[in-house]
């Protein structure tokens, strides 16, 4: 009787493993920022902008003063807005004289929403505005 139970158990295990082997493997889910998935998601969009703009934080106190902002954009001509003071005021949502990562994220979330024409949570090349240079 024990031998028969062992044989049935073995047969069941083998048939289950054969069924698993025939099941096609699903592709891995897209990672945030995965360009092959068709564009950029909000988290990646925010991270890219936050990382770039926080480089202006010269004293590394996790906030950018207007002096730091102006010095940064002056040192990097052509990479920033035409009027850095105006851009600073727009980013400084609470008007305390400093721009924080949270304020950058809030501003980029609004920009992302404007750029995401089809509201699918991703910005593709076709949705990005053309820039003349």
Q: Is 6 within a domain? A: no
Average pLDDT over residues 5-33: 47
Instruction: Render pLDDT for 88-129 as a digit per residue (tens, 0 to 9).
Output: 999 999 999 999 999 999 999 999 999 999 899 999 988 876
Contact yes or no for 118/127 (Cβ under 8 A): yes
The pLDDT assigned to 11 comes to 53
* CATH number, domain with residue 58: 1.10.238.10
Which residues span the domain enclosing 53?
32-127
Q: Is 26 within a domain? A: no
Q: Is 132 within a domain? A: no
Tally the domains of the chain.
1
Instruction: Render pLDDT for 27-78 as a digit per residue (tens, 0 to 9).
Output: 344 444 444 457 999 999 999 999 999 999 999 999 999 999 999 988 877 6
Q: Is 83 within a domain? A: yes
Q: Is 122 within a domain? A: yes
Q: Is 87 within a domain? A: yes
Helices of type H across the chain: 2-22, 42-53, 66-75, 84-91, 101-115
The pLDDT assigned to 100 comes to 97
Contact yes or no for 112/42 (Cβ under 8 A): yes
How many C-beta neighbours within 10 Å does residue 103 have?
20
Q: Is 36 within a domain? A: yes
The pLDDT assigned to 132 comes to 44
Q: Is 48 within a domain? A: yes
């Amino acid at each position: 009787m024990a031998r028969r139970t062992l044989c049935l158990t073995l047969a069941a295990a083998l048939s289950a493993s054969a069924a698993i082997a025939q099941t096609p493997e699903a592709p891995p889910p897209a990672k945030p920022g995965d360009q092959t998935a068709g564009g950029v998601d909000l988290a990646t969009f925010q991270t890219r902008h936050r990382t770039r703009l926080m480089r202006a934080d010269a004293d590394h106190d996790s906030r950018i003063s207007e002096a730091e902002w102006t010095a940064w954009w002056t040192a990097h001509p052509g990479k920033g807005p035409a009027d850095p003071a105006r851009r600073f005021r727009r980013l400084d949502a609470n008007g305390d004289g400093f721009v924080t990562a949270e304020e950058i994220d809030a501003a980029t979330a609004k920009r992302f929403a404007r750029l995401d024409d089809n509201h699918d949570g991703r910005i593709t090349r076709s949705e990005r505005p053309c820039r003349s240079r």
